Structure formats: C-alpha cells, structure tokens
Chain A
C-alpha cells in the first residue's frame, strides 16, 4: 500500500519533471505565436485547444510545469535551509532568545503568504519568479523552523545526547552526527508537503499577477486569463487545473511514501 503511493507519486512527479526538462529544449509550438484559430477545442493538432489569441494552449501548460517546479524547488531549498538553520539555533539558544524567536515564527506563520508576497514585490522592482520564490520560501521557512525547533529539542533531551556530551563530543559534532540525521526523516517529509503547498501558492500568486510575468506562463496565470472565456472554452481552465492537481497530488503521495522509506523501524531497512 505504502509502496503504491510512493510509485504513483514518483510517476506523477516524474512526468512533470520530464515535461519541464523537455520545454527547455523543445516545444510543440512557439508559445508566443499564433498557431491556429482562436479558442479552438482540443484536437490532434492542439491537444488542449488554443487560447484567445490563437496560441497553442498545451505548449503553455507545458511551460507552466517548468515554472511550478522551479518555484517549488527554489522555495523548498530556501525554506528548508533557513528553516532548519533557525530551528536548530533556536533549540540551542538561551531561553529568552528562544522565546523571542518562537514568537516571531508564530507571527510569521499567522501572516498571510499573499500579503508577504505583496510586500516582497513592493520592496523589489516588480513581480518575478524570484519574488515568488522569496515570498513562498520565507513563509515556508517559518513553518519548518518551528517544526525543526521542536524536533531538535526532542532529540537533545535524549540520554544518548547527554552521554555523547559527557564523553566529550562538542555541540557542532552533535548537531551533525546525531541531531540532523534524527530530524531528517520528519523534516524531509515536511519539506515535500510544503513543496506541494508552494506550487499551489505560486499558482495563487500568479493568478493575482504577483508571480512570474508573461511570457513565462504559470498555471495560475493561465487560469486567470482563461477565466473570462470559461463558458466558451472550458479546456482553458481544466488543463492547467488538472496539471496543478496532478503535480500536487504526486508530491503528496511521494512525501507519504518517503516517510515510510526513511524510517528504519517501519521501512525495509
């Protein structure tokens, strides 16, 4: 059962990664040029029809996969790095500093990601892929930092840590040798789940025009531009919507399967 979810997840995410990589070297049509009539229904020539300007829609959905993965990976890397560092430091910090950090994290978590994204966009030159990654990454790092802090504290309370300290192991080595490996399974699964949420968050941001600007057609932006023609050409909403769902579902399945694989007591280790 667990293995099944790992496989379904791996296949769904794998297809997305393959498509994203493919868009770097080959596209069925020029995404900015007219390829046929306006708002055509799906056909063999245009698998997802065409948009209002007659551009091939499937090509745009393919590019969207690349944008979604880029933002997801970027945000997960940024959030994972900042979150883990802050969380571990906070667990080691003196009581007052730790409390202050924990309160800051709570505020950051309560802060809407959308508002954060607007602030980041306002503070930089304008909406871009980078601002989306930065905003989602910061929001993600707060959630991860809180998790890492609790997990680290739990590990530090174990007898083997005290025994290791008593046998002369320094804090730096303890973090590397004992803390990080022990929190890794849970943190990796959390990062994977956050990855899925980051993809959705990116779609929401670009739906509102706070994501990557055209012609980097993100799924959220496709949804937004197809909104006005949803009754004439429903495929414009269905195609990016399905793609988004497939990717997020795949990531969640993958995270679930990963959790069992990484646990030596439950997995096959």
Chain B
C-alpha cells in the first residue's frame, strides 16, 4: 500500500474548479516533486492531502493517507493522522513561527505532543535533550542560544531550520515542503536543500516537494509532476522530464531555466 494515494482529486473554489482531477501516489521514502507556476494548483493539491484547505475551498475525489480517507473527513477525525503521518514546512520563514513564543517553547510543542501520543512520560531533562537533538539534526549552531531566542532574533535560514525541526519532531513519515526555500537567499537555499536531502535519507522520510523552481526540484526529488492550470501535464523521473520533456509547457519551462543559466554564465 502506498503511503499516499491520490485519485482524481478535484478542488473547487467559490466560483470555479481550481484543480481538475489529478492522480498520483507517493511510496514510503519516495520523493515526489510538484512543479508549476503560481496558480497552477500545486499548493492546493498538497493542502488537500492533509485536509487543510482554506475556508471556501472544497476537495473531491480520493486521498488515501496511510490507508485513511482524507476527503470528506471531519477535522477531528484528521487530527490523529496529522503529525504522525504527514507534516508541512512552508515558504515564508517569517510567518512559519509564532512571533510571541521563544523558539525553545515552540519546538517543545510537537515534542510533547509526540510523547503524549506514544504514551511516554517527558520530564524537563528529556525534553531539553530532545530539543537539542532536533536542533542538532537540522544543523543549527549554538542551539542553547537558539532555544532562548525569539523568532525575530534569528535569521531566515535559522527560522526555516527550526520550522523543519518542529515538523520532523512530530515524527511524520511524509514531509510536505511547500516552496520551503523560495524566500531564502541562494546560499541558504542550497544549505536548506542539502539538509532536507540528508534528513529525508536518514529518517526514511517520503517527501512531497512543491516548487516553481526546476533546478531546485531536480536536485532533491526522484520523480516530478508538472502542473499547469490545475492539471498534471507531464509526469516521470526527474532526469527524463528535464532532459526529454514531452509536453510543450514543460519544454518551455526547461528552456526558460536553461536560458537563465546561460545568461548567468555569460555575465561571469
């Protein structure tokens, strides 16, 4: 059984349909990329997977997350699935953390929840050790200081690392990353990508990686789905899609990425 099985997923907005029937699956430990321009429906698809569509949006079709149907379920029924099966990391590191809570307290929330879920007692020393271990897992220097800091006192890259640590501390088997590196500068972006790559390998995580950025997706995923106007226009292994694109839209995307690369090289 696949970890995630999406069949003919449609998302309806208030006025029209935004995602027109998309199907895909993610196996345990597999990394799938969803690529497309803004408005192509890739984020909607990802949010439908965990039943977190914004108010006024409605999903239809079938989403089996670890064998449990997500579509049409009440929020209450989904709470146990979330965190234990899937967690998300978002684009904007500024709004990814509660501005009025020290980073240590925020990181403690998923750790406590997981301990309660698994029926483990968690004393202060164990909690502290877990906090430090997760910060170490996301390669944060000076973790003691970070635990005491407010979100505005640390850099965007560090905030994103803490957000990733929080998502992983829930113990998910699928990590949904919605443009997790888009708001970061190029160097930090590369570091965070390497980090996600390492973490996914070490923890045996499946990854659903959403981005408009082809090189980024090519770097981290095995398989991609190219989306345009709420439809999947092309699907296949990363190498094949990017070297021999079949669909015209994908060809355009790849050519644009190549052009940019050539232009950057020419300037050097």
Residues of A within 8 A of B91 (CB): 159
Residues of B within 8 A of A269 (CB): 150
Looking at chain A's contact residues, is the secondary structure mostly helix, strand, loop, or mixed? Answer: helix
The total of chain B residues at the interface (CB under 8 A) is 40
B163 touches A265 (CB 8 A): no
Q: Which of A33-41, A67-75, A162-170, A235-243 contacts B (4 or more CB under 8 A)?
A: A162-170
B79 touches A163 (CB 8 A): no
B83 touches A167 (CB 8 A): yes
Task: Give the bracket for the number of chain A residues in contact with chain B.
Answer: 20 to 34
- B81-109 vs A, Cβ < 8 Å mask (1 yes, 0 no): 11110111111100111111100001001
Is A158 an interface residue when CB atoms closer than 8 A count as contact? yes
Most buried by B among A95, A168, A265: A168
A265 to B99, CA, bound (A): 9
Q: How many A-B residue pairs have CB under 8 A?
A: 83
CB proximity of B145 to chain A, nearest CB, Å: 15
Is A213 an interface residue when CB atoms closer than 8 A count as contact? no
A178 to B172, CA, bound (A): 22
Q: A171-B75, A182-B99, A264-B152 are in contact. Are A166 and B92 (CB under 8 A)?
A: no
Is B207 an interface residue when CB atoms closer than 8 A count as contact? no
Interface residues of B in 112-147 (CB under 8 A from A): 113, 117
Looking at chain B's contact residues, is the secondary structure mostly helix, strand, loop, or mixed? Answer: loop
CB proximity of B109 to chain A, nearest CB, Å: 7
A165 to B90, CA, bound (A): 13
- A158-197 vs B, Cβ < 8 Å mask (1 yes, 0 no): 1110111111111100000110011001000000000000
A163 touches B99 (CB 8 A): no
Residues of B within 8 A of A182 (CB): 98-100
B96 touches A163 (CB 8 A): yes
A42 to B109, CA, bound (A): 63
Q: Which of A159, A171, A177, A181 contacts B90 (CB 8 A)?
A: A159
Q: Which of B48-56, B187-195, B224-232, B235-243 contacts A (4 or more CB under 8 A)?
A: B48-56
Residues of A within 8 A of B266 (CB): none
A166 touches B82 (CB 8 A): yes
A160 touches B98 (CB 8 A): yes
A166 touches B109 (CB 8 A): no
Residues of B within 8 A of A264 (CB): 99-100, 150, 152
Known: A166-B86, A167-B166, A167-B172. 12 other contacts (CB 8 A): A159-B91, A160-B95, A160-B106, A163-B87, A163-B88, A163-B90, A165-B82, A168-B117, A168-B170, A169-B109, A181-B101, A182-B98
**B residues with CB within 8 A of A:** 47, 50, 52, 55-56, 75-76, 79-84, 86-92, 95-101, 106, 109-110, 113, 117, 150, 152, 163, 166-167, 170, 172, 176
12 residue pairs bridging A and B, Cβ less than 8 Å apart: A158-B98, A160-B106, A162-B90, A166-B83, A167-B83, A168-B82, A168-B113, A168-B117, A170-B76, A181-B100, A182-B98, A265-B99
